[in-house]
Chain A
């Protein structure tokens, strides 16, 4: 193990950080051993497009905290592993972070499968874990904090808006989604909200992540003649749907609203004709013009000029990191239970997305939701919904009553 991770990281991250920092402020801090912050994100393979901005966000947060004198008088140091879009690597590096590096906290996991693979490891070895990605909801685990949005926070806003504000009021809705847990559960929520708003779902279709030819589906959608298409397609291959949809001339016939479009890079990959007018709802958009948001985007772009689109994933990672920092500050310790209890008091942080508050009962967060429409390959933010609560998870999970609970609920609707 001559070529060790530490050598590399020291040269790659820690050295520039400590040289940049104000010497006077940091002299005392530097004498202390650094607090290690673990990071597990994919930087190669299919999920790399999501992972890269998340790591950059985390680096930015750490740099800021160090520049301000560190945490509890100690500097922070990032311990990052590239999980290579491979679940086995997640398990392996999770053990490495927990057992060998003994990090204080881990931020990471992108797909739900990766989260479920590493969550037990952090429980077993008692390492605090933050999952900063929008997902299907339902994780109920006192050791884990989920800071991304869940379907109830975004779908609830998206569906009524799309049904009423479209070219004509939509009654018949067609749902297409990626065929795995996220897509299936999101599709259920879509159906629920369609029904709640007086519409009906004419069909639901699921696609494996490697499907690239959507010809038959487009025909099928046409045969059903819906007024609105709700999409929860995921990943690079599924981007093909929007192109084939446009090339069949369907773009102006049936409007699309999505909970996944634009999460990674879709608007910048597609051209305006293919993406204009698509509605989306997330916890964050890069185009948000609040001062906190513009400052965050500017800092991130300065740190990493080639950074892809900064989506909710990156913003939630940044905020998840800062929530942990707030927890440590309040607890005056990096001890897992002390920080957990501090966070459970309902700590909040004002981040680029607005105010983010930890919910004790679910270990999820109350955060703003935004609704936007694609215009000339950018998101045009139309609506802000302050303080959206993770109601889906709250319906099944109460960690105040059952703090020992540890599972992911399949939320039945």
Chain B
């Protein structure tokens, strides 16, 4: 298979002539759905990291393990007989949010303003979490089935769960936007993000805000893990597949939490999925990475640093 990875062998073309126009339309619809879905999952996965990085300038290398914890929380409570929707929409974010709070109190709060140390500590934390989960649950866990069924677009099938993920991405985005934009907490949080010293003089306790922000970031990440649990392979090391990609997306997006992450996730998700469809998943990834490099070269402050200045 050297060279061309996806080999549509030539003789197959003759028996399998080009798709009919309506078939082609169905196909493009399905592909569009895949692309949007890819971007939505990436957005869900990155949002928690973006909240923590954007507000606190902490790069959380244990991000992938938060996703893993969310998935484990979902799977374990669902297997214990809990309704799957409650397991992923309530248990996962609550559990990971709590874990986040504990970690913030015991570890992260000593590391504000120390970007590199925070990376080192969270790297150690990620190893700890992997080791802990492996010790407790072993390397194998019984997963949960994907709820909802499939649906038909012409000759093609896709799953309702894809649509659900998309809807959840939109909902979470709206929720985070709403909290940051319209609530008192959001206002204070943004003030702390802009200038912690000034906020402190005005009587806000930045430590509390940081703690809450870290908890919220962790909860959002846990939710993402819960939502992806039914469509993922669940292992203690599953998080490592996400960290680098999320890191690149968040930094590529720039400082604005929502517009930055959304635009970067949209761009990278689009490029990755389209590249994967047109070439192979390997080159889909390579294309994504090349795009990221070019993007940062052209927009050294991230997308939001250039186009969405001052937005959320």
Residues of A within 8 A of B (CB): 44-46, 48-49, 52, 172, 179, 184, 187-188, 200-208, 210-213, 215-220, 222-225, 235-240, 243-244, 246-250, 253, 264-265, 268-271, 273-274, 306, 308-309
> Which residues from chain A contact B141 at a C-beta distance below 8 Å?
269
List the 7 closest A-B pairs by CB distance, nearest first: A249-B150, A239-B233, A247-B146, A236-B235, A49-B139, A247-B159, A265-B140
> Do A52 and B139 touch across chains, with their CB atoms under 8 A apart?
yes
> Do B30 and A222 touch across chains, with their CB atoms under 8 A apart?
yes
How far does the Cβ of B204 sit from chain A's closest Cβ, in whole Å?
40
Number of A-B contacts (CB under 8 A): 180
B1 lies within 8 A of chain A by Cβ: yes
The majority secondary structure among interface residues of chain B is: mixed
> Do A243 and B143 touch across chains, with their CB atoms under 8 A apart?
yes
Cα-based distance from A54 to B148 in the complex (angstroms): 38
Q: List 17 A-B contacts (CB under 8 A).
A: A200-B12, A201-B7, A203-B6, A205-B6, A206-B280, A216-B276, A219-B34, A237-B238, A243-B231, A243-B232, A244-B231, A247-B149, A247-B231, A248-B158, A248-B159, A270-B143, A308-B139
> Which residues from chain A contact B41 at a C-beta distance below 8 Å?
213
> Do A179 and B282 touch across chains, with their CB atoms under 8 A apart?
yes
Contact with A along B215-237 (1 / 0, CB 8 A): 00000000000001011111101
> Do B140 and A205 touch across chains, with their CB atoms under 8 A apart?
no
How far does the Cβ of B29 sit from chain A's closest Cβ, in whole Å?
10
> Which residues from chain A contact B142 at a C-beta distance below 8 Å?
268-269, 271
> Do A212 and B1 touch across chains, with their CB atoms under 8 A apart?
no
Contacting residue for A236 out of B30, B146, B238, B277, CB 8 A: B238
How far does the Cβ of B232 sit from chain A's closest Cβ, in whole Å?
5
Classify chain B: how many residues form its interface, as a range: 35 or more
How far does the Cβ of B245 sit from chain A's closest Cβ, in whole Å?
9
B27 lies within 8 A of chain A by Cβ: yes
> Which residues from chain A contact B140 at a C-beta distance below 8 Å?
49, 264-265, 268-269, 308-309
Asked, given contacts A187-B1, A204-B5, A274-B145, whether A219 binds B27 with beta carbons under 8 Å apart, the answer is yes
> Which residues from chain B contact A309 at a C-beta distance below 8 Å?
140
> Which residues from chain A contact B237 at a C-beta distance below 8 Å?
45-46, 236
> Which residues from chain B contact A184 at a C-beta distance below 8 Å?
1
> Do B146 and A220 touch across chains, with their CB atoms under 8 A apart?
no
How far does the Cβ of A263 sit from chain B's closest Cβ, in whole Å?
12
> Do A240 and B232 touch across chains, with their CB atoms under 8 A apart?
yes
Name 15 extra pairs, CB < 8 A, besides A203-B9, A244-B146, A247-B231.
Answer: A44-B131, A202-B8, A204-B6, A205-B5, A212-B241, A216-B273, A219-B34, A225-B16, A243-B232, A247-B149, A247-B162, A248-B159, A249-B159, A269-B142, A306-B138
Which one of A213, A246, A273 has the highest number of Cβ atoms from chain B below 10 Å of its Cβ?
A: A213
Identify which of residues 146-192 in chain B touch chain A, using a CB-to-CB cut-off of 8 Å: 146, 148-152, 155-159, 161-162
